[in-house]
Structure 1
Amino acid sequence: MNTSSLVSACTVIKWNEQHLVAYVQCIDVNEELLLQQCRSNLPSYMVPSKFILLERFPLNPNGKLDRKYLPQPEFSSLTTDHNASVPSTTLEQQLQDIFSQAFHIESPPIEVPFGQLGGTSLNAILALTLIRQQICTNADILLLFSNPSIRQLAKAIEPLLIVNESQNTIITSKQYNETHIRSLPSPLIESVGIILLICQWVLPIIIIINQCQPFLFLILPIFHLVLYIFCSRLFSFKNNKPDNIFSWNYYRWWFLDRLWNNNRFWLQHIIGTPLYNNYLRLCGADVSLDAHIYSTSMDAPWLLDIDDGSWIAGQTVFNCLHFNNDNNTFQLYPIRIGSNCSIGARTILYDGANIENNVIVQPMSSVNGFVASQTIIDGDDDKSSSTNTFMTYNNRSLSIWHKIFQVIALCSLICVHCILLIIIYKVYSIVQVPLPIIIAFCWTLWSILGCFISISLLKFIVGSCTAGEIYPIGSWSYLHKLWLRQLVVSSFHHAWLLLNSYDHIYPIVLRWLGAHIEDNVKISEIDTFLSYPTNLLHFKTGVTTFGSVLLVPTELTLSGDHCVDHITLGSYTNLGNGCSILPGSHLASETIIGNLTRVSRETNSNTGDIFIGAPASVMPFKMPLRLTTTTSAGQMKIIPTWHTCFSHFISKSLLLTIYSLTGIVGMLSIHTILICISYRYRSHIRYPILQQIISRLRQDHQQFICPFLGNTQWLIILFRALGAHIGEGIVIPNFSCLSDYHLITIENDVRLNMHANIQCHSFEQRVLQLDSVTIKSSCILMSGSLKNLFCGYTTAKHRLTLIVTKP
């Protein structure tokens, strides 16, 4: 409007958190002309709901606009100006009542998109939640945004109601039989399995400590990896036949899955090398020695078939396990990947994915079934499309000298750890204090030295990258700049657990490594930022990144090579849980990236945009006004580094003291009781240092005890002790799958696959918000799915994939 010669000044104000009102200082200007100009230059959700024309703006003594003297707008005319405001069907009437409740408008128009009714992202999410609760459980956020008016939405929902009715009829007829054929978990088998898992980890460590030979720790990973090979040959099965959940075959798979999960830290050191390929072959997989596999997220490694030259990015999920709640069975499907394929980060391969040669799968895609050659998959499997672009691949094989370089680099890193162990052992031998205290001190010292060594290696050995540079897989530059970087970061991952989320040290470290980080930047986890070429990062003031954010180090090209580029985040940008940012991404100020969203160089953002989906799609509303207060009880708190180190030392001392006094069984029991009590009465713990110590004890419990409990009823009992409302026959793979336990309700026979998550909190604009989440009976959450705040409850007996709501 300011560009018009007839307008001398204008300002836009948000009234009642619902409507945009434009105050225009002008002479002889038609309001309809202003509306037409805005509609031709702005998206619908940015067009003001009302224009108020003034001859002169009220000014204060300083000559600035005095907003309190602006005339109040009259909104009653907004709804009466629209035609067709009376619903014609019962469904439209229900939707109108929901829109009225969600957007706080009495009798909203039937044919007007909700973006023009005002409101924020929370209003839209509330409307979706009410629709799921009252009308249709299958409605998702994309359906709402694709059909923004009440009439359009009613036409889109009507076919879904017919499908729901038929499915509910079938489900009702089966419910009686299902309750009688439901197989029950075996506490005896689970208990024996957990004891064996704990013994194969703890007993070698006890022997090493008693021998006082720190170099024997180098034998520990070899022992664990060889044990898995032996067990996989003994317990694995390849017959692709359904079997009852909690049957003997199920527990065979469960034991191997727990062993594999506990060995993943060791395997991180050899991914991307022929050593990893050979190890998978020993485990029963049919893997080419020339494949490049960077993922350890797999639940049945012996069912993999990967051909020559295929490149598989980190955090790719091989989900062979398939739950069928109709007959309470499970099934293991093989996964095959042809030659010269490129699988992007966080791709989900499930239900017998069979990918032919020369296929490119973009990050955060989901693939099942057959995929033909020369195909590019972007997003969900049903969105895959063949391409006419001729994809030619360079030679992806590593030469003998490349393989020797990888072995030398791995041995050098082992020597660095040995030197670190020698230093720690010398301190352990000299200092004469009680054993738990000295071990805790050495543990903290190792973490500090490990952090320092890792960033030194990244800065002086790995070095920086040049924007736009392309790295062929079978090249020295790829191994030096990319493979070696991920090796260093993964090897010292546990050292960085010394620091808390959003520690103020993180931006300082990244600046030292060459990143352009401005003030007031909050980073939840530093690993993913260290794995990215740090000199190509540019974060402006107020950027906030939440848990499990992934900066994908490289971008795939049609020739099968990898390209690096800058990532720029505008001021006060929020990156939601589990989102992925690709090279070349440039986000404008005050942008929200929703959970499980993929952003790339093709994502065009404007100030205040909100993106959801893979690939990212802009939503028809803007980011809420940023809060200026900094004293809110729910906002982030800065914890001094010395507090962090001290709480780390005290928590480890307490943990080791309990172990020395009570033994392994007593330590496991007392540690678990402490965690449950501290969580139940967390509101009464007010001293920051005590909160830090308890947080460390929870972290140790999750890291050292909970991995043995995955996919068992002991984990369910633990969640119940923490306050979660969980029914019978539930399968949850890991402790990290749930958060905010007291707000979670899960009914009977719900199954969670690996990397499925349920959370009840949001930290949008750094303000904590909590709400309850309910999962109704017989739901299945697929790998990579997220049940989030403001989803309300899920009632469908269907397989849930990506449930994305508030960032």
Structure 2
Amino acid sequence: MVGMFVNTIPCRLQLDPHCPFDKFVVTVQHFLIKALAHSQLPYQQIVSSNSIAANTLFRFETREEYAASDIMSMIDNVCLSDAGSPNGDSSQVAMFDLILTVRYDSNNKHMKILFTYSKDLFEECTINTMAQRFRILLRQLFEQNLERQQPIFSLSLLLPNEVTLQQELNNTQLEYHDDNERQRAKNTIGQFFSQQAVNLSQKVAVDYVLCKRLLFPLGMSQMQDALFSSSYYRWWFLQRLWTLNTFWLSHISGTSFYNSYLRLCGARIGQHTIIDTTFIDAPDLLQIANSTYIGDEAVLSSLTYYDRTFKLHPIRIGSNCAIDCRTVLYNGVEMEERVLVKSMSPVTGYFSSGSIVDGPLKQIDKEWSNSKNNNHALSKPQNVFQLISILMMLFLHIFIVTFTCWCLSTKMPLFIRLAIVWLTWSTGRMIPCVVLLKFIVGEAQPGIYSLNSWYFLRKFWLRQLVVRSLAFSFVSNIGPYHLLFPRLLQWLGARIDEANDVRISQPHFLLAFPTNLVHIEQGTTVNGFVLFIPFTVTTDGLCKVNCIRLGRNAQFGNHCTIQQGANIAERTLVGTMTRINEETNTVIDNDSPGHVVLGIPARLMPFQRDIPISVSANKSSPYIYSDLASAICVQFLVKVIISFLFVHAYLLLPIYFLLAEHFISLFFFALPREICLLDRINRWRYQLSAILTLDFYTFIAPLLGGTQWLVILFRRLKANIGQDVIIGEINAIEDWKHVSLGSHVRVSATAKVQVRDT
């Protein structure tokens, strides 16, 4: 509709798409005349009684009047030229939003159509497109014989380029050179996308950028909306994509390539900034200035849950800042330049220049606030070195898969080949990881180095790349607390007093630390997700490296952080989520049964730990390798089942994972509340449950985070959870049957609910 609508009531007219256009014009004419008969009542009676002149509501104004036959002859002789830009004065004030003016010149026998529009509401390209569509419609109406009685539905408003595109998309008459092309043509878009995602999984990260442009075309700005609204689920979908991409993004984290990817995602990243974390939930709201360092597993959380709503807060970090590992930035953060945040510190609000944050403590160093800028710039050869290293890691993954496929016979069933390739890729990464760490990366020496030095790149950044890409295969194939792990660390240069009397849950965290700088004494137990930080960033923008010592019979709880220079005395119990650095004092008497260390930063508690139970050291080498062989056999059996279902009955895959979840629930529910040794558990049952749990966490859990399906799953796993509960990730709760959450609880994706005593 075009024109001015003031005190106007639109008339509704039912359209018949098969009605000819000339008949439709006559119908509209009669309809308007009929409506015009009632336009003056009862208003006309009021005008007549008061002798006030008035115009009719429906008004059609022309300069000259012609008979109907003359008008039809004009239309037959109309010449439609190309639509052009207006030649009028662009500075003229438009009376209305949009006006369509039709002028007929009797001398030249030409009809001129003019669009007058307000530039505050319309762009010139929009009006040009509208004029072109109107011109196409006029051509169909008046350049053809009206006696053809063409129906309304046959009229088109498509432009020529749109018609061409439509024909190309609908063209299914293609020639196929082989059966593979014919089979690919039969696949749907969803099947093709799934196939490409499997073949080129490292390119799935690009999908986040594309989906973000589609779901948030204007960017993900600071917003607040109701929970479970369309905005929430759009953000949730992007967050699930980001979670699926974290493995491949970890290959480029800490490089300029990762900064470029974050810029594509909407973040504003300065020059020479090092970002070594993938825990980012809203890149659009992230702003980081120049020469800033952000450590591994630092949480940059813009999301805040409320009772019925959620809100996304901006995170702004100034230049020359240093944010250490596992720091949590949440609920809106604004930092000035030169702010130092030590490991595992919670950060929210405003921080002035020169601030030093250490857990709940905060102080200001005026001398540091006036110091010179840090220089983290890498040279072109260093950037090329990083690029080649990343490509070699990706090539190694591709080589393992393609070489295994080439060696297998094509007569073998497809699901068997798929299981063998899967198992080879999963287990084959262990040998290259050990070889690269031993002979390529090598040993590192204590000292202070620059973050843009060649020594740092070769000894620390390259080690992180190898470990993130390959080392997790140790846990995924062998399982936690295997006696092979201490022997492996010994071969890589670590000093371990008694390998059979040391328990390590996840060795890839220790492999990230230079192994020649690690000293582990007898009876030490390292539980899950203990992060060993090989260096700390100083106020001068340099990294400091030193040795660590884990004393005899020391125990480390889940999710604690051990920094360079840490010296853990014997019989020390390090509690869950505790930070140990070179400043932590845990020196105790040899006759003491041991102390407990808790907090951020760590502090000695006024109570003592129980006397640790000594672990038997009579494990022989044949037992170690037979246990390893049994773990690989169980892995192969599970992969054969999944591959068979994927190839022949993919609709049964959800049933398989439901049965796996049921088995996991029954197995862990049967465990005692306190387990001192894993030897009490049947090894086959434990390996099977661990593999099923890992597969469930890998394929299903990333899709459930932040949904009510995850809450239902935890209830199936014997967790006591109330109503209206949101849990960000499945890793947030580990001991399911011992956890009770009330109603209206919000658990963030990076939160950890711990109940087990270490």
* Counterpart among 358, 372, 385 of residue 352 in structure 2: 372
CA distance in 2, matches of 1:247, 1:630: 56
Q: Report the AA paired with residue 298 of structure 1.
A: I
| Higher RCO, Cα 8 Å, sep 6+ | 1
Are the counterparts in 2 of residues 306 and 336 from structure 1 also a CA contact under 8 Å?
Answer: yes
Partner residue, 2:233: 251
CA distance in 2, matches of 1:721, 1:288: 46
Partner residue, 2:269: 287
CA distance in 2, matches of 1:653, 1:517: 38
Offset at 1:606?
Answer: 2.6
Q: Report the AA paired with residue 734 of structure 1.
A: E
Change (3 A) 1:271 1:299: same
The answer as to 2:723 corresponding to 1:728 is yes
User: Deviations for 1:537-572, whole angstroms, at most 9, x for unmatched residues?
Assistant: 000001101111011110222211001110001101
CA distance in 1, matches of 2:524, 2:375: 40
Q: Report the AA paired with residue 711 of structure 1.
A: G
Partner residue, 1:403: 383
Offset at 1:200?
Answer: 9.9
The answer as to 2:333 corresponding to 1:346 is no
Change (3 A) 1:623 1:494: closer
CA distance in 2, matches of 1:410, 1:612: 38
Are the counterparts in 2 of residues 349 and 366 from structure 1 also a CA contact under 8 Å?
Answer: yes
Offset at 1:734?
Answer: 1.2
Q: Report the AA paired with residue 600 of structure 2.
A: A
Partner residue, 1:232: 212
Offset at 1:492?
Answer: 1.2
Partner residue, 2:576: 595
CA distance in 1, matches of 2:549, 2:441: 22
CA distance in 2, matches of 1:442, 1:668: 22
Partner residue, 1:582: 563
CA RMSD of aligned residues (A): 2.3
Note the 1:38-77 alignment, pairs <5 A.
none
Offset at 1:590?
Answer: 0.4
CA distance in 2, matches of 1:337, 1:227: 27
Are the counterparts in 1 of residues 429 and 470 from structure 2 also a CA contact under 8 Å?
Answer: yes
Partner residue, 1:268: 250
Q: Report the AA paired with residue 343 of structure 2.
A: P
CA distance in 1, matches of 2:220, 2:627: 53
SS state at 1:353 partner = strand
Note the 1:422-461 alignment, pairs <5 A.
422-429=402-409, 432-461=411-440
The answer as to 2:469 corresponding to 1:491 is yes
Q: Report the AA paired with residue 333 of structure 1.
A: H
Offset at 1:204?
Answer: 4.2
Offset at 1:629?
Answer: 7.5
Partner residue, 2:19: none
Offset at 1:505?
Answer: 1.2
The answer as to 2:444 corresponding to 1:465 is yes
Offset at 1:659?
Answer: 2.8
Change (3 A) 1:379 1:201: farther
Offset at 1:445?
Answer: 2.3
CA distance in 1, matches of 2:670, 2:294: 47
CA distance in 1, matches of 2:525, 2:542: 31
Q: Report the AA paired with residue 489 of structure 1.
A: V
User: Deviations for 1:602-656, whole angstroms, at most 9, x for unmatched residues?
Assistant: 111134121101110100122212234769xxxxx98821121111111111222
The answer as to 2:522 corresponding to 1:541 is yes
Change (3 A) 1:571 1:203: farther
CA distance in 2, matches of 1:395, 1:227: 33
Partner residue, 2:540: 559
Partner residue, 1:644: 631
CA distance in 2, matches of 1:396, 1:628: 48
Q: TM-score, normalised by structure 2?
A: 0.69
CA distance in 1, matches of 2:683, 2:495: 31
Partner residue, 1:302: 284
CA distance in 1, matches of 2:225, 2:601: 37
* Counterpart among 694, 699, 713 of residue 699 in structure 1: 694
The answer as to 2:304 corresponding to 1:322 is yes
CA distance in 1, matches of 2:486, 2:265: 41
Change (3 A) 1:546 1:389: farther
Are the counterparts in 1 of residues 287 and 315 from structure 2 also a CA contact under 8 Å?
Answer: yes
Are the counterparts in 2 of residues 609 and 621 from structure 1 also a CA contact under 8 Å?
Answer: yes
The answer as to 2:607 corresponding to 1:613 is no
Are the counterparts in 2 of residues 591 and 606 from structure 1 also a CA contact under 8 Å?
Answer: no
CA distance in 2, matches of 1:675, 1:388: 56
Change (3 A) 1:200 1:724: farther
SS state at 1:761 partner = coil
Partner residue, 1:78: none
Note the 1:650-729 alignment, pairs <5 A.
650-663=637-650, 665-680=651-666, 688-729=683-724
Offset at 1:506?
Answer: 0.9
Rg: which structure is higher? 2
Are the counterparts in 1 of residues 221 and 285 from structure 2 also a CA contact under 8 Å?
Answer: no
Partner residue, 1:781: none
Q: TM-score, normalised by structure 1?
A: 0.65
CA distance in 2, matches of 1:263, 1:200: 21
Change (3 A) 1:339 1:200: farther
User: Deviations for 1:665-689, whole angstroms, at most 9, x for unmatched residues?
Assistant: 4202332233224422556798532
- The alignment-based identity, stated in percent, is 35
Q: Report the AA paired with residue 555 of structure 1.
A: T
The answer as to 2:744 corresponding to 1:757 is no
Note the 1:11-410 alignment, pairs <5 A.
204=193, 206=195, 217=199, 219-222=200-203, 224-236=204-216, 237-325=219-307, 328-380=308-360, 383-390=361-368, 391-410=371-390
User: Deviations for 1:99-134, whole angstroms, at most 9, x for unmatched residues?
Assistant: xxxxxxxxxxxxxxxxxxxxxxxxxxxxxxxxxxxx
Are the counterparts in 1 of residues 346 and 359 from structure 2 also a CA contact under 8 Å?
Answer: yes
SS state at 2:606 partner = coil
SS state at 2:206 partner = helix
Change (3 A) 1:595 1:427: same
SS state at 2:649 partner = helix
Change (3 A) 1:606 1:403: same
Gaps of at least 5 residues in structure 2 are 1-187, 589-593, 618-622, 672-680
Number of residue pairs matched by the alignment? 544
CA distance in 1, matches of 2:350, 2:197: 49
After TM superposition, the structure 1 stretch with the greater mean CA deviation from structure 2, 530-539 or 666-675, is 666-675
Q: Report the AA paired with residue 728 of structure 1.
A: Q
Offset at 1:759?
Answer: 3.3
Q: Report the AA paired with residue 592 of structure 1.
A: L
User: Deviations for 1:464-490, whole angstroms, at most 9, x for unmatched residues?
Assistant: 1112x2120121111111111111111
Partner residue, 1:790: none
SS state at 1:243 partner = strand
User: Deviations for 1:260-308, whole angstroms, at most 9, x for unmatched residues?
Assistant: 1111111011111111111111111111242111100011111100111
CA distance in 2, matches of 1:657, 1:525: 30
CA distance in 1, matches of 2:377, 2:703: 38
Are the counterparts in 2 of residues 286 and 305 from structure 1 also a CA contact under 8 Å?
Answer: yes
Change (3 A) 1:337 1:486: same
Are the counterparts in 2 of residues 521 and 543 from structure 1 also a CA contact under 8 Å?
Answer: yes
CA distance in 1, matches of 2:707, 2:259: 30
SS state at 2:613 partner = coil
CA distance in 2, matches of 1:206, 1:356: 47
Change (3 A) 1:630 1:679: farther
Offset at 1:358?
Answer: 1.1
Q: Report the AA paired with residue 427 of structure 2.
A: I
